[in-house]
Amino acid sequence: MTCVPVALSEGRSYEIHIGSGQLNLLGEHFIGIARSSRVVILTQPIVARHWGERVETSLQDAGFTTQQLCFPSGERYKNLTTIARLYEGLYNLVPALDRKTLLVALGGGVVGDMVGYVAATYLRGLDYVQVPTTLLAMVDSSVGGKTGVDFREGKNLIGAFHQPRTVVIDPEVLTTLPRRELRAGLAEVAKYGVIQDPHFLEQLQRDAAALVRGEVTTIEAVVTRSCQLKAEVVTADEHEETGLRAILNYGHTIGHALESATRYRRYKHGEAVAIGMVAAALIGERAGVTPPSVTTAIRETLVALKLPTTLPEGIDDEVLIALTARDKKAVAGEARFVLATQLGTVALQDVPVATVREGLAEHRRLVERSKRR
Ligand code: GLY
């Protein structure tokens, strides 16, 4: 088991526990952090079917009383209507919840973001723990306290920073995760290589086949490194005030636009981010910031990880450009991009619309060229 600290001020520090079999030790991890013996597990039906019993048994063996609430997940349910249903579910629990009750977010990124938001707001704030069950949630959304839901076409437009008390990651749960979902999570893993650690990107290229196959030990190693890299950023800029934390959004500006333009149906989040990472590299080239060798390394790694890298036909670039103006990093309607200056180093930068347009056009030409080959 590896323990990755997330160092924050005012009692908000916590640890990420990573290792095969950790689900069985969940109850032990809760002793010392729980302020009451009552735990409410919030999860989605399929995760409950696979892991609900194991989680409850582990908690009950450690002396906790447990209740479980299931709710529909998936991006299309990530909205205030589902949040209201969750408040309703908590309100109806017997006996009534008190402020010391510990909530558990058991599931993927959408579950974690929504339960985190419920924990941030119900009774003016409850403690919660993240137990991520997708690779994407393990390496990104379960760490760092960003919570929230989508609103209109804006992804995560409503939310709050609310740190979990701990994160417990058991890579064995990934054995039941669909392969496509696993690959999508690898996009966020590759992102850390691009923004913080070029050696890690090389390692991902080398280990791509094992990762795509879902080999647990290789996955555990990359989850650990990803969590360390994310923890560094969150420690340095917890509330995304200095611009440092914004680097975690590499590839997300076009990625989010693609998800929104395709109504969250065509792409998994990680797939859209993979395409967005290549788009950001080409926009960076046009802006005179990103060396072409960096674009090549990013593309080759993503291809090795069996991720999509090309912009889809049938979606106008102007639609994507208009959607980037709604990105949370946008200032006065002008899109800001995270651009790679070299492998492992990025900068947040205003990019003129004309440059974005040129970068996207270059991205499309790339598809044409690869089709002709
Ligand atoms: N997923 C981006 C962040 O946590 O800041």
The answer on 207 and 79 residing in a single domain is no
The answer on 148 and 33 residing in a single domain is yes
Range of the domain at 133: 2-176
Q: How far is the CA of 249 from the centre of ligand 1 (A)?
A: 7
Q: How far is the CA of 60 from the centre of ligand 1 (A)?
A: 33
Please provide the average confidence, as pLDDT, over all residues in the chain. 95
- In the prediction, which pLDDT does 369 show? 73
CATH number at residue 188: 1.20.1090.10
| Known catalytic membership, residue 38 | no
Q: Which atom of ligand 1 is nearest to the CA of 143?
A: 4
What does the alpha-carbon distance between residue 320 and residue 317 come to, in Å, rounded to a whole number? 5
- In the prediction, which pLDDT does 202 show? 96
pLDDT digits (tens, 9 = 90+) for 165-176: 999 999 999 999
Q: Which has the closest alpha carbon to 76: 110, 104, 108?
A: 110
Q: Which atom of ligand 1 is nearest to the CA of 245?
A: 5
Of 176, 197, 231, the domain-final residue:
176
pLDDT digits (tens, 9 = 90+) for 223-269: 999 999 999 999 999 999 998 999 999 999 999 999 989 988 899 99
Q: Which atom of ligand 1 is nearest to the CA of 246?
A: 5
Q: Which bin fits 97, alpha (ψ -120 to 50), beta or left (φ > 0)? A: beta
The answer on 327 and 186 residing in a single domain is yes
Q: Which has the closest alpha carbon to 52: 66, 36, 34, 31?
A: 66
**Is this prediction's pTM over 0.85?**
yes
Q: Which atom of ligand 1 is nearest to the CA of 233?
A: 5
| Known catalytic membership, residue 92 | no
Of the candidates 155, 162, 256, 268, the residue annotated as catalytic is: 256
| Known catalytic membership, residue 252 | yes
Bridge-based pairing of strands 65-70 and 38-43 is parallel
| Known catalytic membership, residue 269 | yes
Pocket lining: 245 vs ligand 1, CB cutoff 6 Å:
yes
| Known catalytic membership, residue 15 | no
CB 137 within 8 A of CB 73: no
Lowest average pLDDT, out of 48-62, 108-122, 138-152, 318-332, goes to 318-332
Read off the pLDDT band of 152 (50, 70, 90): confident
Pocket lining: 140 vs ligand 1, CB cutoff 6 Å:
yes
Domain count, the chain: 2
Pocket lining: 248 vs ligand 1, CB cutoff 6 Å:
yes
Of the candidates 252, 286, 299, 363, the residue annotated as catalytic is: 252
CA 77 to each of CA 73, 149, 150, 278, 284: distance values in angstroms, whole numbers, following the listed order: 6, 9, 9, 29, 34
Of the candidates 245, 286, 336, 363, the residue annotated as catalytic is: 245
The answer on 167 and 38 residing in a single domain is yes
The answer on 188 and 172 residing in a single domain is no
Q: Which has the closest alpha carbon to 5: 162, 135, 163, 141?
A: 163
| Known catalytic membership, residue 124 | yes
